Amino acid sequence: MRLLVIEDDATLRESLSRKLIESGFAVEQAADGKEGLYFASEYPVDLAIIDLGLPEVSGLDIIKQVRADGHSYPILILTARDRWEDKVDGLSAGADDYVVKPFHFEEVSARVNALLRRSGGWASSVLTAGPVTLDMSRQDVRVNAEPIDLTSFEYKIMEYLMVRAGQVISKAELTDRLYDQDFERDSNVIEVFIGRLRKKLDPDNSIKPIETLRGRGYRFALERNQVD
Amino acid sequence: MNSLSSRLLVSVSVLLLFFFGATTAVLDRAFTEAGEQARQDILDGHLVGLLAAAEPDETGRLVMPERLREPRLERIGSGLYAEMRAVDGTVLWRSRSALGFEIPAGASLDLGEHRFTRETLADGTPLLTLSLAVDWELDNGASQPYVFKVAETLDGFNAQVAGFRRQLFGWFAAVALTMVLAFSMLLRGLLKPLRQIETEITEIEEGDRASLSGQFPTELKGVARNLNLLIDSERARSDRYRYTLDNLAHSLKTPLAAMRALLNDREGGDFSRRYNEQIDRMDEIVRYQLRKPAASADQLVLVPVPVEKEVARLIDGLRKVYRDKQPEFDVRIEKGMQFRGDTGDFLELAGNLLDNACKWCARRVRIAIVPSSGRSAAASGMVLTVADDGPGIPQEAADALLQRGMRLDESTPGHGIGLAVVKDIARSYGGQLVIQQAADLGGAEIIVSIPPVSAG
């Protein structure tokens, strides 16, 4: 998943980005409103974390502009302004949730995951499709209640596909969203990971959780168990 | 007597009374004196007539002719009388008109003296008399003293004076009344701009108007301009206060967030944990202090907040934040309900209460806003009730919060800061906070009552 972090305080921005990268996100950073607005409009973004008090262009204006341009990805506000007036302004401008500074990273991470999951149409952080269960908060995948041991990269691919269950995800999108820019862009790597994932999830090839659509990409194929 | 117009009216009435009283007195006196002078001249004429008519007879005594030329002296009871006496007071002659009367003799006169007096007849009729003592020289050179006296009753004259006075009073009273009436109407017109200023200030207080219109006469323009300046500076002050707070919040909290991020990077175990605790404390202090009420009930200008719209905005926002939980909101807001105060303060009140309710509810949240004590929705106090179907707030925690006030390090977990802020804001508007159990939903029910803005 590719996140955009727009925050003018360098220490905070770098630390937050590093932690997000450690949690398995690809992160784009912007230090002011102008740059932030450019990234937010021009880059492929799955979720944006926007500080409200930015130089050049205010966070509120970025949110309004992004929504006016028709982007629907979730937006999490970081705000030092704790008053409801500011929170409500942000939320009605088009943001989806807020975190008040100073925050614990866990709080941001929990909200980011919740927003991503919701944007994929899941109502709970435990995603269930057929025999497969993925717990986003614990980064834990089970098949028929049996825990599956996945590497962090395998988990990321699994989560990305399952959150978007039913959608076709191209190899390019997977590389784009899961790696940072400087990572080797070799689509074979993705194929290898998908292959390993299939083996771990479905050793006897009975449930077929991940479909390959030739020339188009991959799709998590199991029906969601959750209504919502 | 506290109104300008009644003061003016009373002073003008007193002034008019004094002025007209003095004028009446002067006119009355002038009229009476002129009348009396005229009477005296007439009496003088009659006396001269009498002297001319008197003739000495052959014995050398003065006698009056049988008939006098003045008909009033011949008609009985005509009101004009004449007599001639000897010096010792013996009546020598009396006009026919005085038949049956006894004209008072009066004080004796020196020879040649000419005296007007006021006397009364036996029946009380007032008289004006003119007496003259003369030494009548006879042809033979001898002389004999006589006293001639003419008298006229003052009945007619007094009636004339009374009539004059009646007329004078009547006219003056009518004029004075007309003047007072005209003046009071004039005053209404003159004071109209003052009343307009009063109306406009009330409208500003109630938020129906931003500033005074400026459509005032020259004398009031300065006052209106200064009032507008005062209102503007009050608004600016309040904005500046908010702006300063905002900046302070931002400039304090971003470094706090950065400090926390740096600490977390170090993974310093106990050191990191203890530092984090201190950051939490600082954060709570900053949050609590910065969310203090922006306005209060005694502020000069309170702009009414359209409560329904703001609550709708809050609920839209909270639906996003609590999307997983999907609380059911039951909103009961009196139509046209307004909150007289700062929008931010209202959002703090409703936002904190709704946020807590969403956090704790199982599914249902109820918010009700009604005017206090059954007044009209537009100009009244407000009762804000937020309830949920969650576990409720333990009685001890509620009591502690309401009685002791906010102790930062002992705040009720989950409810603490929000409720403390709500309590502070409610108090700054002269209102109060009640925490109880919701009868219908079973969870916490928090009631904030804000009294109406006291008029004037």
d(CA B36, CA B118): 11
Which residues of chain A have a CB within 8 Å of the CB of B283? 102
**Between B329 and B191, whose confidence is greater?**
B329
Which residues of chain A have a CB within 8 Å of the CB of B258? 9, 11-12, 15, 102
- DSSP helix/strand/coil, A25: coil
For the segment B282-310, the average pLDDT, to the nearest whole number, is: 73
Q: Do A11 and B262 touch (CB under 8 A)?
A: yes
Share of chain B above pLDDT 70, in %: 89
Cβ neighbour number for residue B347 with a 10 Å cutoff: 25
pLDDT of B387-425, one tens digit each? 999 888 888 777 776 664 544 444 444 456 778 888 888
Closest CA to B64 of B101, B38, B89, B96: B96
Q: Do B258 and A11 touch (CB under 8 A)?
A: yes
pLDDT of A180-192, one tens digit each? 555 556 667 788 8
d(CA A116, CA B316): 20
Answer whether residue B7 shows pLDDT above 50. Answer: yes
ipTM value of the model? 0.72
**Between B124 and B167, whose confidence is greater?**
B167
- Confidence class of residue B310 from pLDDT cuts 50, 70 and 90? very high
User: What is the pLDDT at residue A187?
Assistant: 62
Share of chain B above pLDDT 90, in %: 15
Handedness of CA B233, B235, B237, B243 (dihedral sign): negative
How big is the A-B interface in CB pairs under 8 Å?
102
Which residues of chain A have a CB within 8 Å of the CB of B252? 80
pLDDT of B169-211, one tens digit each? 899 889 989 988 998 888 888 888 888 888 888 887 766 777 8
Orientation of helix A10-22 relative to helix A105-119, angle to 10°: 60
User: What is the pLDDT at residue A181?
Assistant: 52
d(CA B419, CA B441): 20
| B104: exposed, middle or buried (Cβ count in 10 Å: 0-12, 13-18, 19+) | middle
3-state helix, strand, coil in chain B (%, to 5): 55, 20, 30
CA distance A22 to chain B (A): 11
Range with the lowest mean pLDDT among A145-154, B156-165, B236-245?
Answer: B236-245
Report the residue from B264, B265, B321 with minimal CB separation from A97: B321
Answer whether residue A102 shows pLDDT above 70. Answer: yes
User: What is the pLDDT at residue B293?
Assistant: 66
Report the residue from B257, B310, B324 with minimal CB separation from A101: B257
Instruction: Output the CATH code of domain B302-456.
Output: 3.30.565.10
pLDDT of B45-58, one tens digit each? 999 988 888 888 87
User: What is the pLDDT at residue B413?
Assistant: 47
Answer whether residue B29 shows pLDDT above 60. Answer: yes
d(CA A99, CA A108): 7
Residues in a beta bridge with B87: none
Answer whether residue A4 shows pLDDT above 90. Answer: yes
Q: Map out the domains of chain B as residue ranges.
A: 4-160, 302-456
State both tokens at B246: 């905002």
State both tokens at A111: 């909200």
Which fold is adopted by the domain B4-160?
Beta-Lactamase (3.30.450)
- The reported pTM is 0.63
- Interface residue of B243, B247, B260 to substitute, partner A, most A CBs within 10 Å: B260
pLDDT of B218-267, one tens digit each? 888 888 888 888 888 887 887 787 778 777 777 888 888 888 888 877 66
